[in-house]
């Protein structure tokens, strides 16, 4: 994608409930896996987007969430949504790159990263961000992962080009263990969580097509290719939710 196409891709994601596969029930399921979280946890939400998961956390917890994203448009959406639900007092937005996080050590009880740690790297993210987590704190991460070792050539080729370091669920569990963390729970997001993302995205792509014409062709084509691929191979790859504990 060139710069203009990337700008169009970001615009196609503005106004969506979330910017990746997900679902409030799944966010809550991950949250409920966590034992002994403090009464008023401090949460860092990395790559929060327009905050589908941020809002769900705020609905369910008396907490303070630092919601970080690099795009102000998404943070503005989150601010408006939080205001509408009277949740603003629990959410602080921060426009910052995940590559430049500089919080005090052990500032957070939970680090949440739905669909975003891949940008930084799964293994490196766990390693570098764990210093911000209190002992006994949790990571809640969704990460696109292979669900099988028997991968068809079509998804293999696509993901080799787009996310060459994508791992199987078992490989990620091994990485978590080797870094000295404990996996508390993990589960695969159902197809419906992808539909939650793809269906509103399709509507936005139509608007983008009207607005940009030919300039948007490549972005739209790529998005539809990705959607078609997932339809065909949802048994071979998917988003895995990993709930991970930093040891005491
Ligand atoms: C797949 S989306 C997931 C968004 C949200 N967590 C969700 O699940 O709906 C990835 C998010 O990471 C953000 N992002 C991309 N690069 C980033 C960076 N360098 N630092 C912080 N956020 C970034 C994007 O703007 C986007 O909101």
Read off the tokens for 137. 């704190």
Which whole number is the average pLDDT over 221-237?
98
Task: Please report whether residue 69 resides in a domain.
Answer: yes
**What's the pLDDT at 206?**
96
> Per-residue pLDDT for 172 more than 90?
yes
Give per-residue pLDDT as tens, 14-62: 999 999 999 999 999 999 999 999 999 999 999 999 999 999 999 999 9
Task: Please report whether residue 112 resides in a domain.
Answer: yes
Task: Please report whether residue 213 resides in a domain.
Answer: no
Whether 47 is in the pocket of ligand 1, judged by its Cβ within 6 Å, is yes
Q: What is the extent of the structural domain holding 51?
A: 21-189+233-246
- Tell me the best of 70, 100, 143, 197 to mutate to test the pocket of ligand 1, counting ligand atoms within 8 Å of each CB and taking the most: 70
List, edge to edge, every strand of the sheet that includes 181-188.
91-95, 64-69, 42-46, 108-114, 133-146, 237-246, 181-188
CB 98 within 8 A of CB 119: yes
**What's the pLDDT at 238?**
98
CATH, residue 108 = 3.40.50.150
Whether 20 is in the pocket of ligand 1, judged by its Cβ within 6 Å, is yes
> Per-residue pLDDT for 240 more than 90?
yes
Give 248 Cα–ligand 1 centroid separation in angstroms. Answer: 29
Give 47 Cα–ligand 1 centroid separation in angstroms. Answer: 4
Place of tokens 């769900």: 56
Task: Please report whether residue 46 resides in a domain.
Answer: yes
Task: Please report whether residue 165 resides in a domain.
Answer: yes
Task: Please report whether residue 224 resides in a domain.
Answer: no
Q: What is the largest CA-CA distance in the chain?
A: 55
**What's the pLDDT at 248?**
76
Domain count, the chain: 1
Q: Which residues contact 187 (CB under 8 A, 6 or more apart)?
A: 26, 29, 240, 241
Read off the tokens for 55. 């809002």
Give the integer Cα–Cα distance in Å for 204 and 223. Answer: 11
Burial of 125 (0-12, 13-18, 19+ CB in 10 A): buried
- Can you give the three-state secondary structure of the chain, one letter per residue? CCHHHHHHHHHHHCCCCCCCCCCHHHHHHHHHCCCCCCCCCEEEEECCCCCHHHHHHHHHCCCEEEEEECCHHHHHHHHHHHHHCCCHHHEEEEECCHHHCCCCCCCEEEEEEECCHHHHCHHHHHHHHHHHEEEEEEEEEEEEEECCCCCCHHHHHHHHHHCCCCCEHHHHHHHHHHCCEEEEEEEECCHHHHHHHHHHHHHHHHHHHHHHHHHHHHHHHHHHHHHHHHHHHCCCEEEEEEEEEECC
Q: pLDDT band at 1, cuts 50/70/90?
A: confident
């Amino acid at each position: 994608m060139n710069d203009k196409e990337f700008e169009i891709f970001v615009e196609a994601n503005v106004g969506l409930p979330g910017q990746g596969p997900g679902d409030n029930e799944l966010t809550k399921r991950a949250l409920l896996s966590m034992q002994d979280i403090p009464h008023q946890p401090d949460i860092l939400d990395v790559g929060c987007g327009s905050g589908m998961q941020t809002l769900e956390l705020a609905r369910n917890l008396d907490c303070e969430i630092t919601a970080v994203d690099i795009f102000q448009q998404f943070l503005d959406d989150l601010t408006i949504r939080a205001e509408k639900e009277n949740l603003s007092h629990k959410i602080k937005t921060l426009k910052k790159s995940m590559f430049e996080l500089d919080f005090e050590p052990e500032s957070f009880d939970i680090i949440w990263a739905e669909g975003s740690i891949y940008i930084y790297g799964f293994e490196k993210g766990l390693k570098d961000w764990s210093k911000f987590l209190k002992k006994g704190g949790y990571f809640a991460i969704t990460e696109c992962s292979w669900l099988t070792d028997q991968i068809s050539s079509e998804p293999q080729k696509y993901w080799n080009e787009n996310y060459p370091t994508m791992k199987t669920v078992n490989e990620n569990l091994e990485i978590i263990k080797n870094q000295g963390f404990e996996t508390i729970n993990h589960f695969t997001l159902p197809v419906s969580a992808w539909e939650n993302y793809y269906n509103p995205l399709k509507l936005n792509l139509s608007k983008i097509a009207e607005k940009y014409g030919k300039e948007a062709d490549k972005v739209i084509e790529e998005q539809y290719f990705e959607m078609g691929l997932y339809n065909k191979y949802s048994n071979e790859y998917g988003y895995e939710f990993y709930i991970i504990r930093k040891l005491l």
